[in-house]
Structure 1
Amino acid sequence: MSASEGPLMLKRVRRRDNVHLYLIMLPVLLHIFIFSYIPMYGIIIAFQNYYPGRPFLSFDGSVDWVGFKHFIDFFTGPYFTRLMRNTFVLSFFFLIFGFWVPILFALLLNELRSGLFKKFVQTSSYLPHFISNVVVAGMVLSFIDPAGIVNSFIKWLGGEAIAFGTEPKYFAAIYTISTIWKSFGWSSILYLAAMSSIDPHLYEAARLDGANRFQQMLRITLPSIRPTIFILLIFAIGSLFSANSEFIMLIYNPSLYETADVIGTYLYRDGLLGGNFSSGAAIGLFTGILNFTLLFSANALSRKYSDYALW
C-alpha cells in the first residue's frame, strides 16, 4: 500500500464503522432539508410584487420583478429606526440580564446535596417552559393590571397604582422578567449536563488541598462548563434581532408600540395581515442575513480570543 492510499483506506474504515450513526442522523437531515432548505425557494418573492395565485417563476412575463424595491422601502420607511431599536434593545436586555441566570441557577443547583429537594427544585424550574405563551401572557397581563397583584403590593407599600399595560417605559422590564422566568430553568439543562461530565477526582483533589465548596465551584465547575457557556453565548448574540415576537404580540397593544413594536410584530401586521407577502419576505430575509452576520462575527471573535467556536 502506498503512502497516499493509507489515509484514504482509514477514511473508508471510519465510514463503514460509523454507518449506524449516519443512519440515525438521516431522519434529522431529511427534516432539515425538507422544512428548512426547500422553502428557501420562496425567498425570490422578496424581489417581486407577488400576490397569491401568481407563479414564483414564469417565462410568460406574468412575474413582476422589482429588484430591491421592498428592501429600500423598509429601510427608508417611517418605522425602520423604531423597529430596529426596539428589537435590539429587548434582545440585548434579555442577553445581559437573562444569559447568566441559567448559569448561576445550574451552579447553585449542582451544590445541593439533598437529592429529593434538588429534583423538586429542578422540576419546578422546568415547568414554566411547558406553559403556553398564551397562558403566560394572560398571567402577566393579570399581574400588571391596575387591580393585579403587582399594583396591590405597590399600594400596600403606600404607593399609587401604575398603568403598566399602557406605559411604554415599563414594557422592556416586563418582557425581560417574564422571558427570564419562563426560560431560565429549561436553559440550565445544558449546563447541568456539562457539570455531570466533570471528573469527581478533581473535586476530591481540591478538597485535599483545602478548597471549600465555593472555591471548588469557582476553580473547577465554572472552568469546566466554559465551552458550553461560550457556544450558547455565540448563539445568543446571533439572535439579537430575533426577539420573541409571539409573546410580545400577546402582551402589547398600540399604546406600547413606541417600545414594544419589533421586526417580528411588524412583519406579522404588514406581511400577513396586510397581505404584503413580498415586503414580508424582504424583511425576513434582511433579518436572517443580519443575524447570520452577528453569528459569524461572534464565532470569529470567540475563536480568536477564547479558542471556543462553532466551526
Structure 2
Amino acid sequence: MAVMNGAARRGQAAGAGAGARRPLWKDLIRDRYLYLLLLPGLLLILLFRYGPMYGVVIAFQDYNIYKGISGSEWVGFDQFTRLFNSPDFVEILSNTIIISLYKLAASFTIPIILALLLNELRGVVFKRFAQSVIYLPHFVSWVIFSGIIITFLNPVDGMVNVVIQHFGGSPVDFLGDVRYFRPMLVITDAYKEVGWGTIIYLAAIAGVNAELYEAARIDGATKLRQMWHVTLPAIRPVIVILIILSLANILEAGFQQIFLLYNALVYDVADIIDTYVYRVGIQEANYSYATAAGLFKSAVAMVLILTVNTIVKKSGQEGLW
C-alpha cells in the first residue's frame, strides 16, 4: 500500500509539473510588453546583420554592378582560389595574425592589472577620476585619435621627437619605419581601448564576495596573495569569455587604426586583410574578390569561436553557451 501511495504521489507531482509548463504563445501574451521592448533591437539585427548576408553570394560570382546579383556570372570558388594564390596573401595574413596577437596580449593583460590596482584604491574621488581618464579615449573616434597621434609623432616637430632631440637623440619616424610601426599600433590601441576592458573587470571584481577577502586576511594573506588567490579565480569566467570573443576576432587587426596611420613605407609589416581588400577589392571595383576575403575572415572567426568555446567547456569552465 505504501508503495502504491508513493507511486500515486509521484504521478501527481509529474502531472503538476507537466501542467506547470505553459505554452509559448501564452508566455508571449503574458510578457507582450517585454517582447515589444525587445522588438526594436531584433529588427535592427535582422535589418543590418542578417539582411546584408544575401550579398555574400557575390563571392561566388564574377559580379557586375550593372547586371546585379541575379545577372552576374557564377564562378564558384574562383575568387577564393585567386585570393589564396595571390603573392601577397601569405604576407597580409601573417601581418593580420601577428598584429592581432600583439593587440590581444596587450588588451588581455593591461586591463586586468589596471582593474586590480584601481580596486585597491581607497580614495573614492581619485578612483573615479582615474577611471574617467582611462575610459575617456574609448569615446574618441579613430579619425580624431589618429590625427592626434600623427601630430605627436611627427618626425619634424612632433612633441615626442622634440623631447628626444632635447635629450640629444635623433628624430625618429615612428609611423614610417617598419621597426616601430607595429609597436606604435599596439601602444596606441591599448591606450585608446584599455579603459573598456578595465571597466568590465572592475564590474566583475565588485561582485566578488567580501567574506573571501576577510578569510584570506585572517589567514595572513598579503594584498598580492589576495589578488592571486581570491580576485583572479573569482573573475575567471569573465576573463575566459572575453578571451573567446577576442580570439574570434583574431583576423580583425583594426582596419580604421591601420588605414589612418599606415603609408606605403610600412606596407610590408602593416598591410592586413582589410586594408588589402579595400585597396584591391573596393578601389579597383573587384567586389567579388573583396567579398570572398570577407567571407574567408568570417569562416575563420566562426571556426575559432566554436573551437575555443568547446575547449573551454571541456576544461570545466563556462563558455559562451
Work out whether the TM-score is over 0.5.
yes
Displacement after TM superposition at 1:260 (Å): 0.7
1:83 partnered with 2:92 = yes
> What is the number of residues matched between the two proteins?
307
2:320 paired residue number = 310
Alignment partner, residue 170 of structure 1: 180
What is residue 190 of structure 1 aligned with on the other side? 200
Q: CA deviation at 1:149?
A: 2.2
Aligned match for 1:180, one of 190, 194, 206: 190
- Alignment of 1:46 onto 2:59: yes
C-alpha distance in structure 1 between counterparts of 2:319 and 2:259, whole Å = 34
Question: What are the ranges of 5 or more consecutive residues in structure 1 without an aligned counterpart?
Answer: none
Q: Match of 2:285?
A: 275
Q: Structure 2 counterpart of 1:175, which letter? A: L
Which one-letter code corresponds to 2:125 in the other structure? L
SS of equivalent residue, structure 1 residue 166: coil
Structure 2 CA distance, aligned partners of 1:138 and 1:291? Answer: 31
Distance in 2 between residues matched to 1:219 and 1:238, nearest whole Å: 29
Secondary structure at 2:62's aligned position in 1? coil
* Alignment partners' CA distance in 2, 1:18 and 1:111: 43
Cα drift, residue 5 of structure 1: 5.5
Map of 1:284 onto structure 2: 294
Structure showing greater Rg: 2
1:105 is matched with 114
- The letter of the residue matching 2:239 is I
Aligned AA for 1:249?
A: F
Report the Cα distance in structure 1 between the residues aligned to 2:16 and 2:283, rounded to whole angstroms.
61
Q: Percent identity?
A: 40
Deviation string 1:155-203 (CA, Å, 9 cap, x unpaired) is 2333222222221221110100000000001221111111111222222
Residue by residue, what CA displacement relative to the aligned partner does 1:61-101 show, whole Å, maximum 9, x if unpaired? x3311111111111101210111011001001111233111
- Residue 139 of structure 2 aligns with which residue? 130
Q: How far apart, in 1, do the equivalents of 2:31 and 2:200 lie?
A: 26
- Secondary structure of the 1:242 match is coil
**Distance in 2 of aligned mates of 1:8 and 1:32:** 35
**Which residue, 212, 217, 228 being the options, matches 1:207?**
217
Q: What runs of 5+ residues in structure 2 fail to find an aligned partner?
A: 1-10
The structural deviation recorded for 1:207 is: 2.6
Given residue 229 of structure 1, which amino acid in structure 2 is its aligned partner?
Answer: I
Asked whether the 8 Å contact 2:175–2:184 carries over to 1, the reply is no
Deviation at 1:134, TM superposition (A): 1.2
The alpha-carbon distance between structure 1 residues 156 and 10, as it changes in their structure 2 partners (threshold 3 A), is farther
The Cα of 1:213 is off from its aligned counterpart by: 2.5
1:8 and 1:189, CA in 2 relative to 1: closer, same or farther beyond 3 A?
A: farther
> Aligned AA for 1:47?
F
Q: So what's the TM-score if we normalise by structure 1? A: 0.92
Please say which of residues 74-83 and 1-10 is displaced more in the overlay. 1-10
